[in-house]
Every structure is written in C-alpha cells, then in structure tokens.
Structure 1
C-alpha cells in the first residue's frame, strides 16, 4: 500500500460528480485532504471531500482560489465535457467555449497552482480522453481540446521538471449517473460495453485509482506520460467488415 498521499492536499476540478467524484473519493480514501472545486455543489457529498465554488473559466477567480490555499501537493484537472453538437450546427464561438473549458481552463488552473507545486515537488494529472486520439464526430471541438491537453501536458512536464511532474490519463467510456443519456438507457450501455475488450465501461473508481497512482510516490519517475484507461480500447471496425479469415459455409 502506497501511503505517500496521506496528509497531502489535492485539488480536483469538477470533482463533484461522475469521474471527478470518483477521483476525489479515491484521494480521500488514501488519506489526502481533498478539495473539489466546481460551479455548483455536489448533489451527493463525498465523505472527506471539501467543496469550493469556482468557475474555472474565470482566471482571476482561479488565481485567487489557489493563492488562498496553504499548500498543494497535487492538482487533478478533471473539469470538462461537451454536448453532442455537429460542427456545422453551431458557430465558432460556441465551439470555442468547449475548447476553453477543456483546454484553456486546465492551463489556467495549472499555472495558478505552479508555485505551490514547485514548493512541494508535487504533480499535475490531466484527465484526457480517447476522443483526442481519434475522429470525434459530434464532439469535434472536445476531441481537439483533449488532443491539445495531452500535448500541453507533455510540454509542461519538460518545462517544469524536475520539481513538478505532469501526466495525462487518456480515459475511455465511463459509466456515470449520466450514461443513460449518452447511450440510450441500460440496453444501450450494455451494447456499448460489449465493444470494449474488458467487457464493461469504466467506473469512476477506475479513473480514481489511476489518478491516485500517477500522483503518488510510486510514480516518482513518471512524467510526460499518457496512461490509457480504456479497457483495451476499441475494436477496429475493419475487422468486422473484412471477409478474410471468416468461416465459410463449407468450413462450418
């Protein structure tokens, strides 16, 4: 058991529901002091997690929030998301707001936290997405932002070494309280889960465990890395379309 985070201070952005709540819970259970910041308080508070109201798209407020912390050992940039929206169905300004939340806000928070993290030799964990590494129709601005976030983390890791480590979780599909809206109810969730090699969607706790590892002393020599937490990824579509290596009627 790695107890390196016991007593340390961790901030989880967007840590009030879904993946963020799972991440916050994992750090709290590891004995850290956890502060979850978001615009709205959690509907179901997580034991051991403090809530701080914060709009991450307000840079002066973000700087004031981090300046008010007595110390900081780890920052998990989890806040983000997007509605389903085809590119031609909205103007550039609306897509830009998605990029602002998913790329600019983590940069803002990381810069505001930098001085603290240098003093404690802490770490930043970016919560990325598989959408950043493949076409993302219906959420193209989100996918572009997540691709940029992963690149930002690699550059940040080089610039801020050796005092601050920076890594990215490349997250696949996660079962949260809103999954039924994305996948069409329980039947849709089960159908989507069958496309994942491990046979299920991730739980928020799976993402929390991975974030906990990257922020702990067990990962002391890991920086600039991308850890894929996606259950094995997605089965390539061509495998189902190709006729080679499929049994013929005679073979059956």
Structure 2
C-alpha cells in the first residue's frame, strides 16, 4: 500500500488536495494535477513530501482532449507506473436550463464527463497491468449529490448533474469491463466546505439555509470525502466495485 503510484486530478485544493493527503503514506508516489493553480498544487506537493511520499505536479486543462492522456503518461513516467487514479477535477454550474448555453453545457461535459472518459481510457492499460501483476489497482471518480437531488427547496445544477450522472454510468460500465483486475467506484459528496479563498457556487447565506436540510446538521469537509476515497483505494475495498458511495450527511437517502 505504501509504495503505490497515484494520480489525483483537481488536487490543488479542496477534495482533491485532501485526497492526496489521505493517500500520502511514506513511500507512495503521487502526481498532483491542477488546471491553473500551480502554486496550490506545489503547496500540496510539499505537504505530501513532508509526510514521506514522493510527489510531482502536473498541469493541464481537461477540456483539451489531449490533456488526460498526457497526464496519465507523465504520471506513469514520473512515478514508474500507475495503480490508482482519482478523477476529481470539476466545478459546479447552477445555471438553470432555460439560460444554459450550448457553450456552458459543453464546458461541464468536457471537464467532467469527457475528461473522465478520456482519463479512464488512457489509464486503463496501466491499471489493468498493475492489477494483473498483483497490485491494488483502483479507479475512483468524485461525483456529486447534484446528480441525485432534485427538489424545489434546493438549488439545482443542471449541467453539472448531467455530467456527473454520466460519470457514474461510466463507473459502472468500467467496473464490469475491468473486473476482476481493477475496481472502479464513485464517491458522491454532499454539500461540502470550500477552502478559504476559493470559488463557491453558493453565498454564505445560502450555505446557512442548507444546514437544516442536512440530517447531520453540518456541511461535509474535504477530509470526510477523502476518507471514503482512501477506503476505496485500500486493500479493504477489494470486493467493492461499481458503487456510488454517498458522503453527504444523509442529504441523499
């Protein structure tokens, strides 16, 4: 477990950064990806090295069709292979369908759904090889509660919901295709705190109004979600595949 080679996309802050920290056992090699926040990614990489892991920073915009394959190859070359891929990159768009332009919808689809497909397609040979050689090969996608919660008293995110629902469908398809060599699962965060200074889809007042609707009466933290990702990447999750595990404080039941 300690010497595994891992790629985490969208890891310069939030859930991605927390996931990288949760996987940073001594001896692990972790590729920290960011679209544009190099300073954040470098800061995360320094934390991982302090924890005893090897870390490299990779940059790239997942809306570019060539980026996912390049990231996979760069990560595998830098780390000496690849056994775990965590697809976390994405953003929330709450634009209603009536105002949603083709360009805005395509941006969500390109980053989240097409980005995941291209990443999985590129990573597959590496993960399958690792699994067949006895490694703990894992792919984990970070989805979102917005693909499951549609109510009049809750903000909806149509473009994000469509993209994340597609990711969960691909997770199940890949779980069948890659079994028994690689497990493929999704983690589904609920309303989750953002890092200070980073963009949030809702204003502070909206966050406060949400709390009574969450059975656990609090927002989730990036560490809550990262713990579920770390479990799915662990030896203990070897018989878990094709699942979407909700980490939402009960907001989706």
If the length of structure 2 is used for normalisation, what is the TM-score? 0.83
Structure 1 residue 106: deviation in Å?
A: 0.7
Q: Which residue of 1 aligns with 2:40?
A: 43
Deviation of 1:228 after TM superposition, in Å, equals: 0.8
The residue that corresponds to 1:54 in the other structure is: 60
Matched position secondary structure for 2:15: helix
Residue 97 of structure 1 aligns with which residue? Answer: 107
How large is the Cα RMSD of the aligned pairs?
Answer: 2.1
2:28 is aligned to: 32
The farther-off stretch of 195-204 and 41-50 is 41-50
Name the residue aligned to 2:144.
129
1:222 corresponds in structure 2 to: 240
Instruction: Tell me the CA shift for residue 94 of structure 1.
Output: 2.1
Tell which structure's C-alpha radius of gyration is larger: 1
1:100 deviates by 1.5
Give distance in 2, aligned partners of 1:109 and 1:143.
Answer: 20
Residue equivalent to 2:134? none
Question: Would the aligned equivalents of 1:38 and 1:56 in 2 still touch at CA under 8 Å?
Answer: no
Question: Paired residue for 1:66?
Answer: 72
Query: Is the Cα contact below 8 Å between 1:59 and 1:108 reproduced in 2?
Result: yes
TM-aligned CA deviation for residue 164 of structure 1? 1.2
Distance 1:153 1:71, change over 3 A: same
Q: Is the CA contact (8 Å cut-off) linking 2:194 and 2:200 kept in structure 1? A: no
Counterpart selection for 2:15 from 16, 19, 28: 19
| Distance (whole Å) between structure 1 residues aligned to residue 222 and residue 170 of structure 2 | 24
What are the Cα deviations for residues 104-144 of structure 1, in whole angstroms up to 9, with x where unaligned? 10111111111110111111001011111233855201101
Maintained 8 Å contact 1:126/1:153: yes
User: Given the alignment of the two structures, is residue 233 of structure 1 paired with residue 251 of structure 2, yes or no?
Assistant: yes
Q: Distance in 1 between matches of 2:200 and 2:228?
A: 26
1:216-238 CA-to-partner distances (Å, cap 9, x unmatched) read 11100111111111011259xxx
Name the SS of the counterpart of 1:155 in structure 2.
Answer: helix
Q: Deviations over 1:72-123 (max 9, x none)?
A: 1100000011333122223223212211111110111111111110111111
- Given that 1:179 and 1:189 are in contact with CA atoms closer than 8 Å, whether structure 2 keeps it comes out as no
Q: Is the 8 A contact 2:94 2:158 kept in 1?
A: no
- Distance in structure 2 (CA, Å) of the matches to 1:233 and 1:30: 35
Which residue, 88, 92, 95 being the options, matches 1:82? 92
CA deviation after TM superposition for structure 1 residue 181, in Å: 4.1
Structure 1, unaligned runs of 5 or more: 236-252
Alignment partners' CA distance in 1, 2:27 and 2:210: 35
| Aligned equivalents of 2:238, 2:161: Cα separation in 1 | 29
1:175-214 mapped onto 2 (5 Å cutoff): 175-177=193-195, 181-185=200-204, 188-214=206-232
Out of 172, 178, 183, the position equivalent to 1:165 is 183
